[in-house]
Each structure stands twice: as C-alpha cells, then as structure tokens.
Structure 1
Amino acid sequence: MAGNRVFAAQLAGLPVFGPDGESIGKVRDLVAGLRLDQQPPRVLGLVVELATRRRVFVPMLRVTSIEPNAVTLATGSVNMRHFTLRPNEVLVCGQLLDAHAMRTDGTTRVTIADAAMEPTRTRDWVLAKLAVRERSTRLALGRRRAAMQVLAWNEVAGLGLTDLTGQPQGAGQLLMLFDTMRAVDIAATVRDLPLKRRHEVAEAMDDERLADVIEELPEDDQKELLAHLPEERAADVLEAMNPDDAADLLAELAPAEQSRLLELMEPEESAPVKRLLAYSSDTAGGLMTPEPVVLTPDATIAEALAHIRNAELPSALATLIFVCRPPTATPTGRFVGVVHFQRLLREPPAELVASAVDTDLTALRPEAPLAEVTRYFAAYNLACAPVVDPEDHLLGAVTVDDVLDHLLPDDWRETGLHDFGLPSAVDPVDPDTPAGPAEPEEADRA
C-alpha cells in the first residue's frame, strides 16, 4: 500500500484498475460495519461504480494497492448485484461525514469532516481516525473557523447506527465531494443514500445543481424528491430544469399538483413547459426542447460559433444552428433551415449564416410518433433535429439523448446496462447464479 492511513474523502472518486491496468470504474464510497462497543468499525469494502453506472460491492480483500491517484484490484470474482446497504452497515462518505458527535470527555461537540482507515495485522482495515471540527455554541462573530483535529475513533461518542440514522446531519462535506462529479454520478450516489440523508443533501443543494441531479434520477425518485421539497422550492427547481425534463416530470404528477406547481412558476418559465405538456410524451413534440440555438439569416458565422461554444449548452444541441425569421424565441418566425456546426468551422467568420444554410433537411412534425423520430435520426445520422408546425414555425428541437431515453427500458437508470461487465481480470458473478462458498469478507458482511 502507498501508506498506512487513507482518508475517505481522498479515496472517493479515484479510478479503479484491474491487475493488468485495465479500467474498471471509480470509488464512490466505503462500507463499514458498525460495532456495539467503542472499537473502530471494520471497513468491509468499497462501493465501485462501473462504466455502466451500476454500483457494486468490492470486498477489501480484493484491493491490492491504494495509491494517491488510483486503486488496484486483484484477480478474482466480484458479485455484480447492485449494491444495497445492510442494516448493520454505514456509508462512510454518505452517512458518517458531516455527522454531529461529542468527544468522549463530554466537553466538546464536534462535526465529522473526514474518516481515515488504517490496516491491521490481520489484513483488515478499520476506521481508526476521525478528522473533526469543534461545534461552538457561542456566537462566533470575528472568530476563525475551528481548526481541524484528528482523533482516535474511541475519542468520539455518538456514532452508533441509531445515532447516524436518527440525528440531524449537515451535508457540506458530501457536497464538496460532489463538486468534481457529473450530475449523473451524483444522482447515482444520491439514490444509494438512506432516505433521510437524501433529503438533507437535496435541501443543501442550490436549485440549479439539484435540478441537474433530478433530471438524472429515475421517475419514482424524481417524484419522491420533488414531493419532499416545499412547493415554492419545488417550483424554483422546475424552473431550473430543462423545459422538456420539467414537462416529463410534471406529466407524472396528479393534475391538481401539476397545476399548483405551474402556477408557482414564473410565467416566462412555465409557458414553454405548458406547450410541451400539450403533446404526448412519445411524440416529437413531447420529446423536444423549446430552447435550441436560433439565429436570424443576417447573423454572422462568428456569432453562431460563439453560441455553440457556450459551456452550458448540451453537446447535442450544439451540433445545429436553426435559422429562422424573427422572432427567434419558439415558436419562431418562418423556419429557413439549419447550419451544421462542421460547416461553421469551414466558413470565414465574417460570412453570414444565410450563406451556409442547409435548406434540404426535412423537419419533423410535432405529432410524429417515436418510431418515426427514431427512423429519422437513423436515416440522417443526426444528433439534433428540428420540429416545425404546418405554418413553418420552429417549435423546438429533438436531441438523440432524449430519443434514447425513451427507447431504453423504463428502469434503465436503476439497473444500468447489464450487457457490460467488469474486465476479465475481475470476473463478474452473475446475480442470477446460485452463489458458492463466500469469501471471508462476504461471509462477514452477510
């Protein structure tokens, strides 16, 4: 091993490799088994997220090295069942960090900022140390933030399983871990958290970040999380979501709840969502986003390139510029055609987009069913397509990711893509195959 002490916050997010250097996934958390006494809990294993977004449990015995930039596994079998937390276990990053506790001398309240695991002579790893900050009850005006202290596990009280699941818990440290993660990875982490902790994290996130995460959650989790939020906050989060995703979510709610949330949204934010709700979810109108990049014919190539360089613009929407007569907000004036981003790269910046318009591309009608939309994308090899009404007004654009989302099984966000597995160096165990004798860690975890 690279060292004898590894902090959880530093381990989370590290890439995981097989013995031959093949990429397997990323570390998302540590699983520890809590004890009834004050002895340090044993680290049972890692929660590893595969390339398919499936999260699996990897016993610590499979870990051969932990370096500052990577974790390496030994050859062996890994159970491919989706990771689920068992009653006597705790997620170190998901539940322990930010927990409130008390020093065993009874004089100081602390907040857990990090936890360090250390190896024992028996090859086990235990949570031997805790990095904590003092929680002062006095006014802290003019005072600096309390310094970090590293204490032994048995110097801190109030970290039993009941304590961790029943006490109020901040989310600052966990949100810091989320800073470097994509929304889809955060969503997978949030799904694995206990319900109470999930709500705490949602309450601590800003509206934009929470909106990004909700868009990546399965439908039932989306509705549960939205229902937990106060109505005013739920409306703010819906405003921050992409209109097509907000419409999909609202379409699953009871009519009274849907109407109430639309009323609480700002009129300019709810208007495009209401237009999308008028279409069936399995048509081009229901799939489209009403916010593509739209320019008038007299815009320059340089202006068009500036629009698609916007870091917040989804990559699929950046592949086409839609050229329309004013107004440019959907529904627009007369639709002229599209400019492919590759064509933009070949034209002089001072030229007008009108000189590069493709007027031959057939547009989709809003009532086009999903099967027709799918054939359209396959035929034209596009990542984005225009949706135009009979009067030639651009209504929006369908992107290939929205098409795939509707073609995949309803539970694809929950189960991942089963056809992909771990590299051959770490043999997957089919979850439908009866298990043989358990590894020592697996037996202890059971």
Structure 2
Amino acid sequence: MSTSPTRVFAARLAGLPVFDPAGDQVGKVRDLVVALRTGKQQPRVLGLVVEVFGRRSIFVPMTRVTHIDSSQVITTGLVNMRRFEQRSTETLVFGQMLDRKVSVKDTGVEGTVYDVAMEQARSRDWVLSKVALQEGSKRFGRKGQTHVVDWADVEGFTLPDETQGATHLLAALVEMRPADLANVIHDLPSKRRGEVAAALNDERLADVLEEMSEEDQVEILGNLDNERAADILEEMSPDDAADLIRELPPETAEQLLELMEPEEAEDVRRLMSYEERTAGGMMTTEPVILPPDATVADALALVRNAELTPSLAALVYVCRAPLEPPTGRLIGVAHIQRLLREPPSTLVGAVLDTDMETLRPTATLEDVARHLATYNLVAAPVVDEDGHLLGAVAVDDLLDHLLPENWRDRPSRGGLLRA
C-alpha cells in the first residue's frame, strides 16, 4: 500500500471520491464495514461500502485499497460489482456505530460516539483503534465535553442500544442529495432505518422518501405515528404522496388523508381518482402557473425555485383564473428558453406557444411517452374536456412508471469493475 496517514478518522471518509490507479473516479465512500471481535481485540476493518455510478452500493475489500487521505481513496485490482449485502457478522460504522451510547471503563464517563479512528496494525490489517465520544451536556445550549480514547477502554458496542439516535450519522451524510441518502438508508438494518427517519426533519425525510422504492416507503411511513406521517405526506409532491398512499391499507390511507391539511388532501384525492398508469395518475398538480398579464421577470423568478425539478422548470403554464388546478382555461405555455431571450418587462401572454398539443388525464403511459417524444418535450399540460389545466406530466415521472417496479434496487449490467 502506498503512503497513507497512520490514523484515519472515519467521518472524514464520508462522501470521499474513490479512484482507480488511472485517476478515473469509480464511486464515493458511503460507509465502512467492520467485524467486532471478543475481549479487547480491536475490530478489523473489512472494507468500504462504495456507491458506484448508478446509485448502487458495492463492497470494496481493504485489500483493494492502496491509498487513503483526506481527499480521496485509491483502489486497485478487480472489484466485485454485485450489490453490497451486509452479513450478520458485519457492522456498519456510520450506520450502526455512530450515535451509540458507550462508557469508558476506568472513569465511568458515558457519552455518544461521534467518530472512530482506524489505523494499520503490524499485520497490515486495518483496525479500529480510537473512539471519539461526546458527553451529554449538563447545561442547556452547550455541547458536552469530548474525549478520544483507546478502543480497549470503551464498552457498550456489543450491547443492544434501545436509545441510539442518528445525529452524528446524519452529520456525516449531511451534504448527500436525497437520492444518495435514500440509497444509504436502504442498506441499513431495519431498526437503524427507523432511527434515521426519526432524526430527519419533515422536509428532508419527504425528499428522501420520494427517491425510495415503494417497499421502503411503506416500511418507514408505517413506523411513524399518524400525525407525523401526515405531515411528511404534505411535504411530498402530491403525485408522489398519492402513489405512496395507494400502497397503504385503505383504512390507514383514509386516516392519513383526514389528518392532512384539506387543500393538500384534496390534491392527493384528485390524483388518486385517476388510474395510476395514466397521465392523470402520474401528473403533478403543482406546475408553474401564471396569468397572461404576468411579466417575464415574474416567470423567471418562479422557475428559479431550487425545489422545482428541471422538467417542471422548463415550462410556465399561462391560464385564466383561478390559478390553482383545476384552473381556468389554459391559454398556452411559455418555454424557458424563450423567456430567457425576452426583456424582463415583457408580458408572458405575448410570448406564448398556443399550438402545443395537450394531454387528457386518461392518456396511457404509451400515449404520454409518444407525445413527449414526438414534440421533444420534457413536460406537457394535462387538461379536461373544457381546456382547464389539471396538472402537468413530466418525463421523470413517466420514467418512474415505465421502468420495472423494483428498478431502484436492481443492479446495472456488469459483474466486475477493473480498478
């Protein structure tokens, strides 16, 4: 192995790029896998969980790691590209060790693990050598004292921890995109998934749920109390919330809809009234909608919203009042490229595409796919028989329904990655 730091703290590895010897990035570090051992023996670091492109987690043995520093990990040889599946004898550092309550044997100091350090033993194996823990705060608003102690001086890792939180795990993963965090949570043990979900705020959890398989969504939502589950559904986009509620037992679904804000529940109920694999069933009821006397500046201000997907930000739908779906009559759409070429004071009613073909809510998946492909669109309006805008269907929602149901969990093609 080439020169590496003698000691590496695990939290600094979260999200680090993993490169092959040629300098090509093959993925990012998502966790470390260790084997706990009896007595005072330091846990052996077996390898890294690496997310490769395609949002799939694989296992990279430490024997394939040639260099580690604060900015990168370099590997060599053949890496097995099968999806990582944790064995019963393995423990995840981020997923299961951070936030655990432990104590120092000699002093009796108790605290929460916020990091661990690994280093190479004489055998060339990597082992966990140090534990960083934080005492509980005795004064409101202040953090407790921190300690870095030898592994052999700490006890509590092998005992069940019924009160394990997720604060330090989430701190290590804070910059992850929702889709990446969803992938990490999917690979955690069931109990830990629930702890992480409990620690996420409503908006973040809603974003992550939208990127999960239906099976994971139902499990996580089912472990929340009904009040919080309803709050999460309100934070989700109506079409994703409707898809999730369809997977719940009817009695549970109705309870959650009753707990939601009436306007939010109304949008979801309307979407659920359409067949799932139709334009109406997969459209969003929250596209960018403006009246014809709004200006180009107004339109550009709305499409700058970072929460909009690129496909929904590509079109502004101009309608008569009311402006909440179902709106007044759809007059036309304004394309973002056209808006960028116009003076900010120009009225959007003057730059409309009034010839765009619309979709009916009963249009099938094939109809929607053909429509978007024919007109080179990333989104399209869905209207009723009177021309009122009901919502918009986007290409990303179409792909979600065209791909196999378990596409998020399926590995891409290829067995081995040469690193």
The alpha carbon displacement at 1:367 in A equals 0.3
CA contact (8 A) 2:361 2:383 kept: yes
Letter in 2 for 1:318: A
Is residue 2:152 matched to residue 1:123?
Answer: no
CA contact (8 A) 2:100 2:161 kept: no
CA contact (8 A) 1:52 1:420 kept: no
> Equivalents in 2 of 1:227, 1:143: separation in Å?
33
2:98 corresponds to which residue? 97
Is residue 2:316 matched to residue 1:321?
Answer: yes
Unaligned runs of 5+ in 1: 427-446
Superposed CA deviations along residues 8-59 of structure 1, whole A, max 9, x for unmatched, are 1110100111110111010000000010112110100000001111111000
1:65 corresponds to which residue? 67
> Equivalents in 2 of 1:141, 1:16: separation in Å?
41
Letter in 1 for 2:90: E
The alpha carbon displacement at 1:120 in A equals 1.6
Point out which structure has higher relative CO (alpha carbons under 8 A, 6+ apart). Answer: 1
> Equivalents in 2 of 1:143, 1:340: separation in Å?
50
> Secondary structure at the residue paired with 2:381?
strand
The alpha carbon displacement at 1:167 in A equals 3.4
Call closer, same or farther: CA 1:94–1:154 in 2, change over 3 Å: same
CA contact (8 A) 1:297 1:323 kept: yes
2:174 corresponds to which residue? 179
2:397 corresponds to which residue? 402
> Secondary structure at the residue paired with 1:275?
helix
2:155 corresponds to which residue? 157
> Secondary structure at the residue paired with 2:108?
coil
Is residue 2:251 matched to residue 1:251?
Answer: no
The alpha carbon displacement at 1:388 in A equals 0.7
Aligned residues: 417
2:385 corresponds to which residue? 390
2:5 corresponds to which residue? 3
Counterparts of residues 35-434 of structure 1 (less than 5 Å) = 35-74=37-76, 76-105=77-106, 107-135=108-136, 140-141=138-139, 144-160=142-158, 163=159, 165-416=160-411, 418-419=412-413, 425-426=418-419
CA RMSD of aligned residues (A): 1.3
What is the TM-score when the length of structure 1 is the normalising length? Answer: 0.91
> Secondary structure at the residue paired with 1:31?
strand
The alpha carbon displacement at 1:158 in A equals 1.3
The alpha carbon displacement at 1:135 in A equals 3.1
The alpha carbon displacement at 1:143 in A equals 7.7
CA contact (8 A) 2:82 2:415 kept: no
Superposed CA deviations along residues 307-347 of structure 1, whole A, max 9, x for unmatched, are 11111212110000001011111110010010110000111
CA contact (8 A) 1:2 1:68 kept: no
> Secondary structure at the residue paired with 1:419?
coil
CA contact (8 A) 2:80 2:415 kept: no
The alpha carbon displacement at 1:178 in A equals 2.7
Letter in 2 for 1:26: K
The alpha carbon displacement at 1:420 in A equals 5.8
> Equivalents in 2 of 1:52, 1:420: separation in Å?
12
> Equivalents in 2 of 1:242, 1:105: separation in Å?
52
The alpha carbon displacement at 1:98 in A equals 0.6
1:434 corresponds to which residue? none
> Equivalents in 1 of 2:330, 2:90: separation in Å?
58
> Secondary structure at the residue paired with 1:367?
coil
CA contact (8 A) 1:119 1:126 kept: yes
What is the TM-score when the length of structure 2 is the normalising length? Answer: 0.97
Call closer, same or farther: CA 1:351–1:31 in 2, change over 3 Å: same
Unaligned runs of 5+ in 2: none
> Secondary structure at the residue paired with 1:316?
helix
Superposed CA deviations along residues 269-323 of structure 1, whole A, max 9, x for unmatched, are 1010010000011000001000000001111011111111111212110000001
